[in-house]
A and B are shown apart, each in its own frame.
Chain A
Amino acid sequence: MTDLPSPPSPAVVAKGLVKIYGDRRAVDAIDFQVPDGVCFGFLGPNGAGKTTTMRMLYGRLRRDSGRLEVLGLDPDRSRREVRERLGVVTQANDLDQDLNVLENLVVFAGHFGLRGREARERARELLEFFDLGGRADSNIRDLSGGLQRRLLIARSLMHDPGLLVLDEPTTGLDPQARILVWQRIAELRQRGVTVVLTTHYMEEAARLCEEVVVMDQGRIVERGTPRELILRHAGEQVVEVRWPLGTPAPPTGPEVRRIDLLGDRLLLFADNPVAALGLFRGRVDSAATIVRPATLEDVFIYLTGRPLEEGE
């Protein structure tokens, strides 16, 4: 007899997922699949439908049509079973202001059936993991935004969920706090936790996510690994030159894949930056010229920063 390991089933499968508010299609027939054990990112500007999609994952919003499976279950039909296996951090800071730090974790664990010493030990462990060990008895009000965010993530992990849903985990945090949260998420990833997150920080997605989708106006407009998206839409290198407003249209040529005008800066996407700059010899201030590797940010601005074609 051979024991063939069955391929791990995906954590989330969505097909033709739709959510309608009034006459607006907040999520407009999207398909995606989150493989087990990866960090999967939803990128997009505000109002793109990312949060609506997250809320459908844990059954907070009922979908209007399409198929959705979270850990093999339909969140609308098996809401409780899905929530038992899911850790969710919403955008809102919904910590319980009437309870202290430790109590927030213990009470939340109670909602998942975890009680007593087991819950307290788990809470202490997670407080240590998130560098909150000394704050167990603190009031929520006395915690900075970064600490509260870490506590929210700790709270979502109390019942050891198979899938973690993070809706904009670092929005509003200062850079140090953000990096700390990133480190923790990366560590959770190494422990095998599947993560779905939304963000509009491209650096966050590039650092944490193996796969991303870019949403705009309820649709998925692009998908792949961050690296794939960069190579597909931006190439290896970007040359930024100063291009004062009112200057006539820049020259083009085969040396440049694409040119974006962002305010008074011109972005030249080129695999060979020296050749691209050749086009501009004598026309730009070389002291204000930068050559840098292309980032996901460049892709994002390209994909979502221009008006979408009507009737598309």
Chain B
Amino acid sequence: MVASLARSASIWRREALVWRHIWRTSILLNFGQPLMWLVAFGFALGSYISLGRPGSYLAFVAPGLLGITAMNIVTFDTMFGTWVKLHEWGVYEAVSTTPVSPSEIVVGTFLWESTRALMYGGVFMLTMLLLGLLHSPWAVLLPVLLATVGPLFAAPAIAWAIVTGQSFNNLFYYTELVISPMFFFSGAFFPVDRLPQYLLLPIWITPLYHVVQIGRGLALGQVSGWLWVDAAYLLIVIAVIAPISIRLLNRFLTT
């Protein structure tokens, strides 16, 4: 167990080392965008919006944008990174001559993506704190949520990067058909409880919905027992998809 984690940490270390070469552009790209959303949606659009409930739209949308930021941070890096390491450069082919197993590669990737979500999400949280958008001491639990987002969105991105095969363009089916709808319809930008009934179930199934629910609950101090249900659902999604991505990688690297 410890030895296995040490091998996963070696995968983590590779990613951290690569990040050290590119962190300037990486921060600019990955943090500049959510900051822009916060200004555009929160301040600009928000001044025209009344939610029909107490609190500003800015305070409502900020935790949603935190969840979206974490999802994007993890999804794009994992999907493109895994695809390149698998189909283009043979990085994992080389790893498969070493004692590091496919499951350890996947766990190492999870660890690294949690780290990224914590780094970039952490900066976003700090911005929220400075803008007075963290209304509750429960917000100290937000980093736990960010860390969970690592495996939550890395697992499906790894799986898709493997099954998509040699075609780079196929990667975009996932971002366009899965990530984009989640972006718009997971309750990040507007409360979903007034949407038609038939939309509620598909929304409830998306992991991002629960990330946003938990994030908003912790940031605004609206903590209820339902957050446990949200948390449990996220863990179930991880427990289902992570083994799938491990199996796929295993099949790819041992034939």
Contact = CB atoms under 8 A, between A and B. Distances in A.
A60 B98 contact: no
A112 B95 CA distance: 10
Nearest to A19: B255
B94 to A, nearest CB: 4
A83 B17 contact: no
Nearest to B90: A94
B255 A61 contact: yes
Given A92-B90, A94-B90, A86 B97 contact: yes
Interface stretch (B5-13, B26-34, B163-171, B192-200): B5-13
A90 B105 CA distance: 20
Contacts of A103: 17
Interface in A87-110: 88, 90, 92-99, 103, 107-108, 110
Interface in A49-96: 58-62, 79-80, 83-84, 86, 88, 90, 92-96
A90 to B, nearest CB: 7
Contacts, number: 70
A95 B94 CA distance: 8
Contacts of B93: 90, 92, 94
Nearest to A58: B97
A93 B94 CA distance: 9
Contact of A98 (B3, B18, B90): B18
B98 A108 contact: yes
A84 B91 contact: no
A94 B89 contact: yes
Contacts of B253: 60
A108 B94 contact: yes
Contacts of A99: 14, 17-18, 21
Contact of B101 (A80, A92, A113): A80
B121 to A, nearest CB: 23
B203 interface: no
Contacts of B17: 99, 103, 107
A110 B97 contact: no
B224 interface: no
Interface string B85-103: 0000111011111111100
B50 interface: no
A138 to B, nearest CB: 13
A281 interface: no
Interface in B13-63: 13-14, 17-18, 21
A182 B215 CA distance: 60
A106 to B, nearest CB: 8
Contacts of A61: 254-255
A111 B91 contact: no
B254 A59 contact: yes
B160 to A, nearest CB: 21
Nearest to A159: B98
B80 to A, nearest CB: 12
A120 B121 CA distance: 33
A156 B95 CA distance: 11
Most buried by B among A88, A94, A108: A94
Nearest to A94: B90
Contacts of A90: 90, 93-94, 97
Nearest to A98: B18
B94 A96 contact: yes
Nearest to B253: A60
B97 A96 contact: no
Nearest to A111: B98
A33 B146 CA distance: 54
A110 B89 contact: no
Contact of A111 (B3, B10, B255): B10
A97 B21 CA distance: 12
A62 B254 contact: yes
A86 B99 CA distance: 10
Given A98-B21, A108-B98, A111-B95, A60 B254 contact: yes
B114 to A, nearest CB: 19
Interface of A: 58-62, 79-80, 83-84, 86, 88, 90, 92-99, 103, 107-108, 110-113, 156
Interface of B: 3, 6-7, 10-11, 13-14, 17-18, 21, 89-91, 93-101, 253-255
Given A60-B96, A79-B101, A112-B98, 10 more contacts: A60-B97, A83-B98, A83-B99, A90-B90, A99-B14, A99-B21, A107-B10, A107-B13, A107-B14, A111-B11
Closest 7 CB pairs of A and B: A94-B90, A88-B97, A111-B98, A110-B10, A94-B94, A98-B18, A80-B99
28 contacts: A58-B97, A60-B97, A60-B253, A61-B254, A61-B255, A79-B101, A79-B254, A80-B99, A80-B101, A83-B98, A90-B90, A93-B90, A94-B90, A94-B93, A94-B94, A95-B94, A96-B14, A96-B94, A97-B89, A103-B17, A110-B10, A110-B14, A111-B11, A111-B100, A112-B99, A113-B6, A113-B7, A113-B10
